[in-house]
Structure 1
Amino acid sequence: MAHSPVSDITRLAEQIRETSAPLRIEGGGSWLHAGGPWAPAASLSVRHLRGIRAYTPGDLVVTVAAGTSLAELAAATAEHGQMLALDPYGTPDDTIGAVVATASPAPLALGDHRVRDLVLGVQVVTGDGVVMRAGGHVVKNVAGFDLVRLQTGAWGTLGVITEVSLRLHARPPVDQLVCAAVPHADTGALDDLLPAVLAQRVPLPMLLVSPPGGAPQLWARLTGNTSRVRALHARLRALPVGDVRDAPDDETWRTLRATPSEAIVLRARTHRSDAVPFVRAARDAFESATLSYDPAHGSLRLVMPGTGLATLERDMATWYRLAAARGAMHRMTVVVDQGRTWSAPYQSPRTPLEAGVKRAFDARDVLNRLAELRPSTRAHPDA
């Protein structure tokens, strides 16, 4: 006989209360090398918590269990001409709970939305086994502290997300992903393209993707009615790129969203005015990496083989030096999004504030416990 949602949550809370050993929260189990680094722990799966709990198409709001996949949500909302306004890195089998817990970024998200823009409410089980609700089931809800945003992107360290209320968007009449090759990239075409892309003031999400040993491509998402899409298409063709073509679904997933589980993923950001030295230095320092530069935010994502671990610190230092030598004027921040289980270039202990928040929600530190990091053997490039 099927279990009720209430009994499932009750059993989950009891399981957490009855253990003193660390637990590693798992949704679909496809992104366990992200974040962290995590201490060894027993698995705590929430994949059995799945399904639509409530859906009001007229309000553009849906509540789903955390183990529900992106594909399941997309199928349910498509019947009403609606959608979740992002397709995060990964696969359609990724769970909603994991997307919210990690605040997963999404390439070319509709309307430039982020996960925190779309989460209205959450239900979580804290490290003390207490079932807690934050936020609500409607768009206009501002009561109390913003515990929803606190749980979003906390990587499960503050509670096990069991249910999520999400804001939806209407599917646009036209939703088209296109790409264009960057010609003669080895002769300075990026030096011309990046300033032209940054100068754009139209709402045209773009992503410059540069694979190792291959020609860079400029990707864009064209949405709206036919006239609007036609105008955006003309803007794109005016940039110094090759022919603009539609991108097949398999190429879109492979180029924009697929991330090997054994890869090391870095996420970096700096001032948009430093785009040329920032991107060019990254291409030279990480020859085996696929680079994805978001001109709207000045952010860069690097995906490199796990074999690059041995030289990771040296390559990062090279990146800093090359960028500065080529005229970069602003500080860049770098985060290891995936691979810190194996690589911890810099020690990053919790601040007193972070430690206090952790104690408030998980005093015994059983949920997604962090491993102790070794101090770096190299000086930080900014030191």
Structure 2
Amino acid sequence: YTGQGYAADLEAALALGEELDRRYEQAYRDGETASRKECPTLTAAAFVDEWMEAAVEPGQYPVVGVRRTETGVVGRAELYTCLPRRVTEPLFEELHATVLMSATLRPFDVTEDVLGLEDPLTMAYGEQFPEERRRTYAVDTPALFASQRDDPGVQESVGGAIADAVRFTPGNTLAYFPSYAEAERYYHRYAGDSTPYLDEPGVAAEELRQEFVADDDAVLFTSLWGTLAEGVSFDDDDARTVIVVGVPYPHLDDRMEAVQRAYDGSFGDGHDDAGWHYAVEIPTVRKTRQALGRVIRSPDDYGVRVLIDERYTHRNRVEEKLGVGMLNFYSDLDAWNGAPPEP
């Protein structure tokens, strides 16, 4: 913004704020006030001054929003840092050594670029869990594109695959969706015998998790972008099957476009379409892997991972009769309490 009066008005606001702040300080020192009063004028003016100056720097995305509420009009200004390395790189430089451990750090070169790591020593370990105690299936249902989610045929196909996976699980099932709205949609469509649980935004997830794991034949519908998709373990009987429905691309709004442009500007010379690769593709793969990792938490654990969307079927095992595959797998492990379901 370079409109008439901007610089002069901001300078005047800063000067007024500094003068008021000096008076508040003096009043406190003289014992006229019991506590040191802060100057909101100075705070607001200093924020706007820094916000306007930093907003033009590469990798920064300025956001201003105004909305009307029951109590009046509320304004909000935010300066979003598109490149994490602007924050993390100075932190790492101040440390003697850092150890980063995660099952989703690869590809290492992307992590190095994103966090600003200089020539780190990298180590990767192979699959630690026996193959005979885990299965991954990709189910060839129609892709859950935003334009197709309301299609009755798509819902019937996806809902049927979910029902089969839940029915042929000897215990609890986790079902992850690209959004809370999709989780709620299929929660209401589910008509099986297992007890359904719905994770909703704004509701305490830990209490819901405890109720779910206390059950022995339940299915939890939640979002891949929620708190139950990463950093939470569902060991052993807590959950046996995990379902990922659709591909969890982040919401492609103006902010995400700014992030993509920032990555294109920083890494575009060495990578075609770097913005999409760094900001969308890699985080989406990591989000999916994090969800799949909620079950099978030790070499003695066992379970099934199901990917429901035709976009997963290009390189994965396609199980046309998902129920039969799961029935055979769990039967080989003697996982059923009583007679297994009929295929």
Larger helix proportion of the pair: 2
Q: TM-score range by the shorter chain?
A: under 0.3
Give me the TM-score of the superposition, normalised by structure 1. Answer: 0.22
Give me the TM-score of the superposition, normalised by structure 2. Answer: 0.23
Larger strand proportion of the pair: 1
| Larger-Rg structure | 2
